[in-house]
Structure 1
Amino acid sequence: MKKIAVVLSGCGYLDGSEITEAVSLLIALNQAGAEVSCFAPDIEIPAMDHLAGQASGDKRRLLVEAARIARGQVQALDKLQTKDFDAIAFPGGYGAAKNLCNWAEKGAKCDVNPEVKRVITEFHAASKPIGAICIAPVLLARVLGDKKITITIGDDKETAAEIQKTGAVHEECPVDDYITDREGKIVTTPAYMYDDAKPNEVFKGIFGLAHELVEWA
């Protein structure tokens, strides 16, 4: 059975992992026959009020928030050992651009969380597949852009232009499909980069991504 690591960025699309994307990924990976383990950085993050759509004023532990999605079965990211897994995947949500890095603030010049950078670098160096959903592909662009990897975040021209500044290649993709970089062993899908996407469309793209990951692993 292939072992896949999933890196969460919190819980909730405004300040963490997008829940539909994360759950779709977990289901699709299991459907593809993989054993999944969840990880998240153990850092403090500013929280959002998802009803009001604005900052709540309090702070929370990202690892504790991620445990909501993982049903408590989540480990700190510094515990992730590349040798123990066949592939790694990152769901989207603003947490990927605010907590795992600060792309939301600095774009192509963003800083990436050291543990996130470590695992991306290690998996790529080991030629192990990497998947990223929604805005999460910007993590791969920032860390691996000099490798000329090909990724997608859909058809958002502003974000695509910023991605190209990293050296990565952006390819447009509809919500229910995915893009593969076979040489780099990277697979990405836009998901809720399309704001008006339906859950079944998001799942279809993630389903394809998950099965591609497991096939490569």
Structure 2
Amino acid sequence: MAAVRALVASRPLASSAFAPLHACSPRAPLHRSAPRPGARVALVLSGCGVYDGTELHEASAVLVHLSRGGAEVQIFAPDIPQMHVVDHAKGQPSESETRSTFAVDGKDCKVHEDVERVLKEFHKAGKPIGLCCIAPVLAARVLRGVEVTVGHEQEEGGKWPYAGTAEAIKALGAKHCAKGVTEAHVDQKNKVVTTPAFMCETELHHIHDGIGAMVKKVLELCGK
């Protein structure tokens, strides 16, 4: 299952809230954009690769659209062992290495305590949050009554192979809103924006467009 843990926050960026998470070096130009007049955004990723964490195309699309929107970006990630590391050449976990437990535990999943804290703090402060692919489950788990989308609610011949996630979201007490892959759902009350991304089996440019819609809406909520 493609997974990117993308959290987009408005300015000002509450750096102290992210202290327990690992911030990539600001000296590396690919990890942090140059200072810009737009929104200051924190992008939270998890792992590296479609089978055990952040899907690379999704992460790249988020960064491209944030750059186009004039945002100043810093990337963060939990500095902890992953549940497992997948050998992407074999498609199997590597026995000698370790890396939200949703993929294993479903609606009974646990969210990393610092990620949960940051989500709640940003939500309480009225800062917009953007989540794509499976990451809307995080909001469903920790933000009471939130509205999110992970796409359609039926598999439709394999086009939406993870459609069952919508039922898990409902079981968590959140509202699922069916959307197409190029669309984003905006929960105006909670300032949470979500898009399906690779929850759908489709061409890459559709994923790119959907993530663009998510980023655009988040920046609009930032007033940028």
TM-score range, shorter chain: 0.7 to 0.9
Aligned residues: 175
Q: 1:19 aligns with which of 41, 56, 68?
A: 56
SS of aligned partner of 1:44: coil
Q: 2:195 aligns with which of 167, 189, 200?
A: 189
**1:116-195 aligned within 5 A:** 116-144=115-143, 146=144, 148-155=145-152, 156-194=162-200
Contact 1:121 1:143 in 2 (8 A): yes
Aligned counterpart, 2:212? 207
SS of aligned partner of 1:132: strand
Q: Does 1:216 align with 2:215?
A: no
Deviation digits for residues 166-187 of structure 1, max 9, x if unmatched?
A: 1100011111111110111010
Bigger fraction of residues in helix: 1
Deviation (angstroms), 1:157: 3.7
- AA partner of residue 97 (structure 2): K
- AA partner of residue 105 (structure 2): K
Q: Percent identity?
A: 42
| TM-score, L = length of structure 1 | 0.78
**1:66-145 aligned within 5 A:** 101-144=100-143
SS of aligned partner of 1:29: helix
Aligned counterpart, 2:13? none
Alignment partners' CA distance in 1, 2:111 and 2:123: 16
Contact 1:134 1:193 in 2 (8 A): yes
Alignment partners' CA distance in 1, 2:69 and 2:96: 39
| TM-score, L = length of structure 2 | 0.76
Deviation (angstroms), 1:118: 0.7
Moved more, 150-159 or 124-133: 150-159
Q: Does 1:43 align with 2:40?
A: no
Deviation digits for residues 18-53 of structure 1, max 9, x if unmatched?
A: 000001001101101111100000011221011211
Alignment partners' CA distance in 2, 1:53 and 1:157: 22
Deviation above 4 Å: which 4+ runs of structure 1? none
Deviation digits for residues 44-70 of structure 1, max 9, x if unmatched?
A: 12210112111121325x6xxxxxxxx
Alignment partners' CA distance in 2, 1:212 and 1:157: 24
Alignment partners' CA distance in 2, 1:21 and 1:6: 12
- AA partner of residue 72 (structure 2): E
Radius of gyration: which is bigger?
A: 2
